[in-house]
Amino acid sequence: MTQVRFCRFAASAIAALLVFAPLPARAQDKIIKIGALLPMSGPGSYFGAQDRQGIELALDEIKSGVAGYKFDVRYEDSSCAPLPATQAAKRLLDQYKPDVVIGEECSDATLAIMPLMEQAKVPLLNAGSSSIRITEPGNPWTFRIMPNEVMQGVDIATHAFQRLDARAAVLLYENTNAGIGNAKVFNETFTKLGGRILADIGFGRDINDFTAIATRVAAVGKIDVIPTYTLEGQGLKITQALALAGITKGGGGQAIQLGTIWLPFGFEQKAGKAALGYIRIVQFDPTDPRARVRRFIDTFKAKYKQDPTHLHAHAYDQIALIADTVNRGARDAQSIRDTLAATRTFSGVTGSVAFDRTNQNEKTDTIHYMETLPDLSWRALKWN
Amino acid sequence: MTVILQQGVNGVVLGSLYVLVALGLTLVYGVLVQINFAHADIVTLGAFSAYFLMHGLSGGAGGGYAAGIVVALVVGGVLGWVMNAAVFAPLRGRRSELLPLIATIGVSVTLENAMLALFGPIPYAFDSPFSGDVIRFGGTYITVQSALIIAVSVMTIGLLYAFLRFTFLGKALRAVAQNRDAAALMGIDPDRQVMLTFVIASALAGMAGAMLGPVLVLTPFAGTSVIVKAFAIVIIGGFGNIDGTILAGLLVGLIESYTTQYLGPGMIDIVVFALLLTMLAVRPTGLIAEKREENV
């Protein structure tokens, strides 16, 4: 008898489970799944480490949900390179089935994953790749909030010519889509304005000792500016080698190194006095007085006990923008894409976002200039 | 003329740097006929050991570099001993050439990811007390750190030669390299000599890491960026031949410098690896012909 009762109880329990099981499943359906393709290994892994902190902070702030939707993120290591990026993207699309994907940081990797996202009809929100090919001629599923290489290159070349009176430049860049593209735009703009490119030097990511390159640069004559496009590690070594060769201000020379959005804050402390006078674009101005920026900095410091960099900031903005689309009614991949495309007035901590017909953010208030001072602190240059 | 001289100096520095890394590789190959893919990671660990010791001693003020080099050497040696005892020796017992080779790849990936977990991916600024000091002569210059790399390379080569030629252990090690079975019959314990080879090669790699740390971009992947060139140097020099390795290291360093000056740094790998392929096709024994009895 006891056994019969137990069997009835068990059968009832199973039936109840079957009946009510869909309820939690429906609750889970109200989740926006965000795939994050970030470089977490290899020379670009400092991007991934900092992006992740920015993402986690943004998630903390929306953990109670937006318009009834919660957010879940799955990270995959895309390694800043095409092959691992495509493998990670396939894994993410097949297994996680995200509503939207953020990443990659490196242009080569982003270019490699774009066709997969288009095929899967999942929007890709990019914040850190500069190659013009990402948004030209336009891809309905790829959006970029950072200024592309043309926007940055034209801006910095024009400022170099007009504000710094630079007339002679040497280009140093890694041989990647982003490196070559950035250098090309600077070259075209600078020469059009009347400047001269004395040397155009591309190199692989496996170069460690930049003394030979510095020797070559030193031999080309008087240089005003040296636009440099590399990841942080090589950037450190180049800056130190140029200073040791007496070329740049940090080594007692006259040339000023210029850079676009590649290097994080803290670069100057690592490079030491060699970085003196370095002028570069960053995507985030920590002196920005807007309440949103002040709050971001305060909460970031409280959570991580460190100052945020532009990498933290743009990753934070990616999640904030996705949350904004959900707040505007987006519910799935297609509607997130459509809502992103209609974005005109989003204001993030890096600046504002309004996508043009190619899904490139057309706002340039995300371009902030900073200059390294003798005490290795920096000052914001109000050039824009 | 100054530029040619300066690039010559740069090439010798770069070559010395490669020789420091390649010596351990060639030593292991000379004795065991085994390629050690984990060598790069021991170089990296050596660099991190020196870096953290320096920061522990002087809070990043640049003191304790000499102690850092010694610690890196010891860490490398201990790691070599552990790797051999725990992984390679048991696999060699199975009489397979492939298993220890694959195991070195496994050890490499494990070490790399362990360092990634421990030290993080963000590049470290490893400045020795000599990184910023420059010696100028005529129109050319060399950093004190680079001069130190050359000096340490020369000293290491000298000590290694002396050890191999004039000490009982060194002679025993060469005997094992020439004929393991005959050496065993003469009362030499081959396994102990193999262990000694791993310890010496790994200690050299650790020390190389400490010397290269201020030159390399210090991340958990630092050693990987030089190891490919080091392998190329070992092949160009004649696998397992120390004289050939030294010659090839300097040659590759000079080729890199002059290629940077006259063709562009983007051409370096093309030139170096074209040389490698040419060597394999024309003189597969390397710059100095491989004779097993003369190696090591």
Contact yes or no for B66/B53 (Cβ under 8 A): no
Q: Within its chain, how far is the Cα of A376 from the centroid?
A: 24
Reply yes or no on whether the pLDDT at B272 is more than 70.
yes
Residue located via tokens 């050497």: B73
Number of domains in chain B: 1
Distance CA A279, CA A168 (A): 16
Cα separation, B144 vs B134, in Å, equals 6
pLDDT in tens, B5-49: 999 999 999 999 999 999 999 888 888 888 889 999 999 999 999
Class of domain A150-282: alpha beta
Instruction: Name the nearest CA neighbour of B216 among B147, B270, B145.
Output: B145
Instruction: Answer whether A49 touches B (CB < 8 Å).
Output: yes
Task: Reduce the DSSP state of residue B110 to 3 states and report it.
Answer: helix
Mean pLDDT along residues B154-179: 90
Distance in angstroms (rounded) separating the CA atoms of residues A65 and A71: 7
**pLDDT score recorded for residue A27:** 45
Residue the block writes with tokens 């390649």: B22
Q: At which residue do the structure tokens 């824009």 appear? A: A384
User: In this structure, what token pair is assigned to residue B35?
Assistant: 């390629």
- Identify the closest residue of chain A to B228 by CA–CA distance: A206
**For B33-139, where are the alpha helices, taking DSSP H only?**
39-58, 65-83, 89-92, 98-119
Contact call for residues A261 and A282 (beta carbons, < 8 A): yes
SS3 content of chain A, % helix, strand, coil (to 5): 45, 20, 35
B62 pLDDT more than 70: no
Q: What percent of chain A has pLDDT over 90?
A: 72
Pinpoint the alpha helices (H) of chain A. 2-20, 22-29, 45-61, 82-91, 107-120, 149-162, 177-193, 211-218, 232-244, 267-271, 291-304, 310-327, 333-341
Residues of B at the A interface, defined by Cβ within 8 angstroms: 3, 6-7, 10-11, 13-14, 17, 113, 116, 120-125, 127, 131-132, 134, 141, 143, 146, 212, 215-219, 221, 225-226, 228-229, 256-257, 260-261, 264-266, 268-269
Q: Which residues of B touch A202 (CB under 8 A)?
A: 264-266
A30-147+288-353, superfamily in CATH? Response regulator (3.40.50.2300)
- Is B296 part of a structural domain of the chain? no
- pLDDT value at residue A20: 45
Which carries the bigger pLDDT value, residue A19 or residue B53? B53
- Best mutation target among A46, A198, A208 (most B Cβ atoms within 10 Å) is A208
In terms of Cα–Cα distance, which of A165, A161, A373 is closest to A250? Answer: A373
A355: its two tokens: 């996508």
B227 belongs to a structural domain:
no
A376 contact B CB<8A: no
| A79 shares contact with chain B (CB less than 8 Å) | no
pLDDT score recorded for residue A229: 94
Is ipTM over 0.85?
no
Q: What is the pLDDT of residue B35?
A: 85
From residue A274, alpha-carbon distances to A225, A256, B148 in Å are 15, 11, 21
In tens, the pLDDT along A122-141 reads: 999 999 898 899 998 888 99
Angle at A320 between CA A318 and CA A322, to 5 degrees: 70
Chain B residue with minimal CA distance to A267? B125
A195 touching B (Cβ < 8 Å): no
Cβ neighbors of A74 (< 8 A, separation 6 or more) are: A33, A34, A35, A36, A92, A96, A98
CA B116 to chain A, closest CA, distance in angstroms equals 8
Query: In a 10 Å sphere around its CB, with 0-12 CB exposed, 13-18 middle and 19+ buried, how is residue A351 labelled?
Result: buried
Give contacts of A 293-312 with B, CB under 8 A.
none
Lowest-confidence region among A302-316, A341-355, B122-136, B189-203: B122-136
Residues of chain A in contact with residue B124, where contact means CB-CB under 8 angstroms, are: 270
Give me the pLDDT at residue A46, please: 83
Interface test with A, best of B217, B219, B228, B254 (most A CBs within 10 A): B217
Q: Decide if A30-147+288-353 and A150-282 have a common fold.
A: yes
Cβ-based contacts under 8 A for chains A and B:
108
3-state DSSP percent of chain B in helix, strand and coil, to 5? 75, 5, 25
B71/B59 Cα distance (integer angstroms): 17
Tokens of A270: 């690592």
**pLDDT of the residue at A274:** 93
Taking only Cα atoms into account, the Rg of chain A, rounded to an integer number of angstroms, comes to 24
Regarding predicted confidence, which is higher, A97 or A260?
A: A97
- CB atoms B265 and A208 under 8 Å: no
A265 has pLDDT over 80? no
pLDDT single digits (tens) A3-61: 555 555 555 555 554 444 444 444 445 999 999 999 988 778 888 999 999 999 999 99
pLDDT digits (tens, 9 = 90+) for B64-122: 888 999 999 999 999 999 999 998 888 877 777 788 889 999 999 999 989 988 988 77
Q: A238 is written with which tokens?
A: 């180049």
Sign of CA dihedral B90, B93, B97, B99: negative
B13, B256, B265: residue with CB nearest A201: B265
Q: Could you give the count of Cα atoms lying within 13 Å of B133 in the half-sphere of its Cβ?
A: 9
Closest residue by Cα to residue A101 from A91, A89, A111: A89
Residues 6+ apart with CB under 8 A from A336: A32, A99, A100, A123, A322, A325, A326, A330
Domain boundaries, chain A: 30-147+288-353, 150-282
pLDDT band of residue A384 (cuts 50, 70, 90) is confident
- DSSP of B127-153, one letter per residue? --TTTT-EEEETTEEEEHHHHHHHHHH
Please give the residue that has the higher pLDDT: either A178 or A64. Answer: A64
Dihedral (CA of B115, B119, B122, B126) sign: negative
Mean pLDDT of chain A: 90
Q: Which residues on adjacent β-strands are paired with residue A35?
A: A74, A101
d(CA A309, CA A127): 14
Q: What is the extent of the structural domain holding B206?
A: 2-221
